[in-house]
Amino acid sequence: MKRPATLKDIAEYLGVSTATVSRGLARDPRVTESTQRRVWEAAKTLDYRPNVIARSLRTKKTGVVLLVVRDIKNSFYLDVMVGVEAAAREANYSVLMCNCENDSALVSTYLEMLKDGRADGMILMTGKLPQSVAEDPQLAQMPIVLALEAIENCSLPLVQIDNVAAGMKAVQHLIDLGHERIAHVRGPEGELMSQRRLIGYRQAMQQAGLPVLPDYEQAGTFELHSAEHACRVLMALDTPPTAIFFANDEMAAGAIKLLRRMGYAIPEDISLVGFDNTFWCEVSDPGLTTVDQPRFQVGQEAFGLLHSTLSGEEGGEKTIVLPTELYVRESTTSPKSKI
């Protein structure tokens, strides 16, 4: 069997020292970019594979970061994962996605991996922490970055969007179409992301001089099935809404299926807007109008913040706010009385 290539093999191949090869593979700034490129090309040519175990013992680094998400079945997180992995690969890190199954207590399990040195850092996308973790005085010093799902009273570095402005953007689209009876199905209660999208809904309604009716605000969980109860309640009202803004696409997709089964035409009878711009928007019929979050960029930026922490950089950005965009598809139109 062919002997695996070593740093010495690459050094001899290029006619440089093993120290230069080692630094080039680590993208050390002491090595010029052109030399780094030559080193990486030679490593690929010689089919070099780093000895991860030896490196870990030497540097006390694993080269692994954790991406902890609330529900791995939600494709939203896979798109973020692609962005994290692309940035991590450039820095010679691997990414392990960890599923909390909507149980914040499982964060403690993954946090132990970090404390035990089985991972170098963590990107957290759960929207909440168990009390024992939130109250840990060491939390602020840990290499953890929050991505999109901010946590109340938590000062960890954060990549986010302006959920209030994005929620207003979604509702304003419906107002511009002529809708006045607009309902909202929010995300999990007590989570900042859900609260801020709800605030955006209310602010857009108030600025347009439209009433915010208590019955028009319904609870959801971000899961597909949670839209069913909310829609049944809304459509059973004496004055049902002509449009609904959902806090995510998955609930909106569930609503499309249910409402059509109930005999409503979309968007002729009722307009629907989602949030996230996930694959649900493309597979739903009609296509779903939604707020787009730049998920790939979120992943890149989150790893960038984490890598800055792992590299010992100080004084850099701690919060990054990324832009959103409204994608208008076939699920929205003017209400019948306005057509």
Higher pLDDT, 207 or 225: 207
- What integer pLDDT is reported at residue 199 of this predicted model? 97
Whether 173 and 326 have beta carbons less than 8 Å apart is answered as yes
Strands 144-147 and 158-161, bridge-based pairing: parallel
Task: Give the three-class secondary structure for 161.
Answer: strand
Enter the tokens of residue 22: 């080692």
Query: What is the chain's length?
Result: 339
Checking if the pLDDT of 331 tops 50, the result is: yes
In the chain, where do the E strands start and end?
Answer: 64-69, 94-99, 121-125, 144-147, 158-161, 182-185, 217-218, 243-246, 271-276, 289-292, 319-322, 325-327
Integer Cα distance of 205 and 200 in angstroms: 9
Whether 252 and 246 have beta carbons less than 8 Å apart is answered as yes
Task: Give the three-class secondary structure for 277.
Answer: coil
Whether 63 and 96 have beta carbons less than 8 Å apart is answered as no
* Angle of helix 295-310 versus helix 75-90 axis, rounded to 10: 40
Integer Cα distance of 1 and 235 in angstroms: 69
- Beta-carbon count within 10 A of 29 CB: 9
Q: What is the pLDDT of residues 270-300, one digit of tens each?
A: 999 999 998 888 888 899 999 999 999 999 9
Q: What is the pLDDT of residues 29-52, one digit of tens each?
A: 788 888 988 988 988 888 887 654
Q: What is the pLDDT of residues 99-120, one digit of tens each?
A: 988 787 788 888 888 887 888 9
Which strands form 144-147's sheet, in the order they lie side by side? 94-99, 64-69, 121-125, 144-147, 158-161, 319-322
